[in-house]
Amino acid sequence: MRRKIADTLVTGGTGFLGRWLVTSLTRHQREVVVLARGGAARAAALSAFVAAHGGDPDRLTVVDGDLTQAGLGLREPLDAVQDVYHLAAAFAFGMTAVAARAVNVEGTLHLAQWASERPRLRRLVHLGGYRTTMLPGWLAGAAYPLPPRVRARLYARHGAYEASKLEAHLALWWFATQHDLPLTSVHPSSVIGSSVTGETSQLTGIGETVERLWRGALPALVGSERTFVPVVCVDYLAELMTSVPTRPETLGQQLCVLDSRTPRLPALVRSIASSLGVPAPKVTLPRWAVAALPRAMTGIDRESLGFLSEDTYDTASADAHAAAVGLTMPSTEVAIERWAGHLVSTRFGRHADADPGRHVTAGTTRTFVVGDPSSADWIFLHGLPWNGDSGRALGQRLTGAMARADLPGMGRSSAAAPPGPNWLAALLSGRADPAVLVAHSLSTGIVVRFAARHAARVRGLVLISPYFLQRAAPWFLRFAPLAPLTGKLLAAGDALALHRRLLGPAREADPAVVSAMEDLARPGVATRVARSLARASRSRERAALAAELAGLAVPVLIIHGERDPLLAPPSRGEVVSIAASGHNPHLESPEAVGGAIERWRGSLLAR
């Protein structure tokens, strides 16, 4: 085993940007040591991230250290280190000045002292922030160390976090001048997810705004039509920072890194709302008015209001460096859409292992899909009150790729008219070959009607619990005027209570139930689910679908649970009963349902 001789040290390497930077550095053959409190406990997770994102975990070492200690608490000198990246910071609104300064100011100076003593030091790259480039005149000209009165004014105006970052910037550049320290500052704007996948673990700031927008809890914006909150993609920023020490031209520079094409805040929020298929706020409140209100009323910390500015920023040095190393800023519109899709897919970080999804336009609706409907081997449509996540367990047991879509007006899709065959035709408009459609409950009616009208576009149908061939729902669920009340009952309680109502006794809720419960809490979803259930329960509707099924010319497999039988043998299709299951056999017994579908598919391919 080769001995690792570190040439790069990174603080904050286990954080959001830090993980992407470490990945980039190791991909560029740098031997990286990451300084972190409890280093050994964090090593495995960081190595896994680096490996999963194209880096080289064999070039990574995580060591225990502490910025608040002189010498950083390191046990070995690391004298081969050439480049030092300082990303670590204490970040929280409402911190005391003492707590913020201990890490952000004094910790920065400890690192600067340590770096200045490395015999091979080439560069210290410090992560600041784009607001640092707009220092007020009274502060930009202040001597360091700051006089007590100036420091008190700084912390009173900006709050502990931002003030400590501004002070750290002044302190570090003062130190660099005094000790001939080779320094470059990189000042990024709000960092969003990967330009390729949208992946992020950062929600603070604009991410929190998107979550409130998604939940229908953003009645107004703060600022003006000119408020500018620029963004930059995390992978682009990591690549740029990796290249900084390689060019002597960046020595002594302050690189402001942001996407100047970012729309002004109201336009940005409207664009995100359109992408997600949710309403955008129509009111913008002046910053001073919100600052005068208590946080309990606004839900906004006053410290965060300082970032809502109409200022523009000089990015010329950063743009010149990017051009010199061949970096191109990703498409703003595409990057923001992918980032917003990732936030929704992961439920804003609460379900980090969720399958990535996105919103696509299908007819008049923004439909949330996981997978690619234009090429997937299987297309899954859910029943009530589920979303596409209810097909995840089944998809894992089938050969080939599955695309899962949330029905219009339900799940994570936009509010829309009831879904029908025209919507499905639009969703599948990019397909070159016929699809195998797997539908549960309510969606079985959609796919039957689609197959009746577009037989050439269907390879086969799998109907799981086709409601129109089974016992009708109780009368109160069929009574449309009660839909608002029914919706409230559906959304009442917690996920475990919903699991017990739909799937039976359990100690914890199935992930698909948790996902469905989150969507039922969104404005209007539960009521639309209840109304769809009432419409589908009409006798005329059920009879019409049974007749259309009988006339289909495509192969059909019908699967039902033993405890939820068919009322009579259907005139079309092969029938499989799943033992000890009810109306949701694909969730109760996914192995058995998957096996039945695979056997049917084998016979289908043999024809």
Whole-number Å distance between alpha carbons of 417 and 7: 60
For range 504-508, the mean pLDDT: 93
The 10s digit of each residue's pLDDT in 309-320 is: 899 999 999 999
Q: Flag whether pLDDT at 2 surpasses 60.
A: no
Structural domain boundaries in the chain: 8-202+230-260+312-330, 355-606
Q: If pLDDT is split at 50, 70 and 90, which confidence band does 293 have?
A: low
Q: Given this model, what pLDDT does residue 289 score?
A: 72
- Residue in 408, 445, 450 with CA at minimum distance from that of residue 541: 445
Percent of the chain with pLDDT over 90: 81
Q: Given this model, what pLDDT does residue 299 score?
A: 67
For range 173-187, the mean pLDDT: 98
Q: Given this model, what pLDDT does residue 72 score?
A: 96
Q: If pLDDT is split at 50, 70 and 90, which confidence band does 389 have?
A: very high
316: exposed, middle or buried (C-beta count within 10 Å: 0-12, 13-18, 19+)?
exposed
Q: Given this model, what pLDDT does residue 487 score?
A: 81
Q: Given this model, what pLDDT does residue 1 score?
A: 37
Q: Who wins on pLDDT, 83 or 305? A: 83
Q: How long, in residues, is the chain? A: 607
Whether CATH 3.40.50.720 fits 8-202+230-260+312-330: yes
Q: Given this model, what pLDDT does residue 303 score?
A: 67
58: exposed, middle or buried (C-beta count within 10 Å: 0-12, 13-18, 19+)?
middle
Cβ neighbours of 494 (radius 10 Å): 11
Q: Which helix (H) or strand (E) holds 155?
A: helix 148-158
Q: Given this model, what pLDDT does residue 534 score?
A: 87
Number of H helices, E strands in the chain: 25, 19
Q: Who wins on pLDDT, 387 or 298? A: 387
DSSP β-ladder status, 556-561 and 458-464:
parallel
210, 272 contact by CB (below 8 A): yes
For range 185-209, the mean pLDDT: 95
Whole-number Å distance between alpha carbons of 73 and 84: 16
For range 287-298, the mean pLDDT: 66
Torsions phi, psi of 473, nearest 5?
-65, 155
The 10s digit of each residue's pLDDT in 434-461 is: 999 999 999 999 999 999 999 999 999 9
Least confident of 5-9, 202-206, 348-352: 202-206
Q: Given this model, what pLDDT does residue 506 score?
A: 92
DSSP output for 51-97: HHTT--GGGEEEEE--TTSGGGG-SS--TT--EEEE------TT--H
Q: Who wins on pLDDT, 183 or 293? A: 183
| Mean pLDDT of the residues in the chain | 93
577, 571 contact by CB (below 8 A): no
Pseudo-torsion of CA 503, 505, 507, 509, nearest 10°?
Answer: 20
Handedness of CA 440, 378, 592, 518 (dihedral sign): negative
Q: Which residues pair with 559 in a beta bridge?
A: 464, 576
Q: If pLDDT is split at 50, 70 and 90, which confidence band does 3 have?
A: low
DSSP state for residue 346 in the 8-state scheme: T
Round the CA-based radius of gyration of the chain to a whole number and report it. 28
For 568, the 3-state DSSP assignment is coil
Q: If pLDDT is split at 50, 70 and 90, which confidence band does 25 have?
A: very high
- Residue in 429, 430, 345 with CA at minimum distance from that of residue 392: 345
For range 82-86, the mean pLDDT: 98
**Helix, strand and coil in the chain, % to nearest 5:** 45, 15, 40
Q: If pLDDT is split at 50, 70 and 90, which confidence band does 91 have?
A: confident
Tokens describing residue 44: 């495995």
Return all residues near 10 (Cβ < 8 A) that are at least 6 apart.
Answer: 18, 21, 22, 25, 32, 33, 34, 35, 84, 85, 87
The 10s digit of each residue's pLDDT in 117-176 is: 999 999 999 999 999 998 888 898 888 999 999 999 999 998 999 999 999 999 999 999
For range 211-217, the mean pLDDT: 94
Cβ neighbours of 195 (radius 10 Å): 21
Return all residues near 288 (Cβ < 8 A) that are at least 6 apart.
Answer: none
Q: Flag whether pLDDT at 567 surpasses 70.
A: yes
Q: If pLDDT is split at 50, 70 and 90, which confidence band does 477 have?
A: low
335, 195 contact by CB (below 8 A): yes
Q: If pLDDT is split at 50, 70 and 90, which confidence band does 541 have?
A: very high
The phi-psi region of residue 127 (left if phi > 0; otherwise alpha if psi is between -120 and 50; otherwise beta) is beta
Q: Domain 355-606 falls in which CATH fold?
A: Rossmann fold (3.40.50)
Q: Which residues pair with 566 in a beta bridge?
A: 470
Task: State how far Cα 125 lies from the chain centre.
Answer: 28
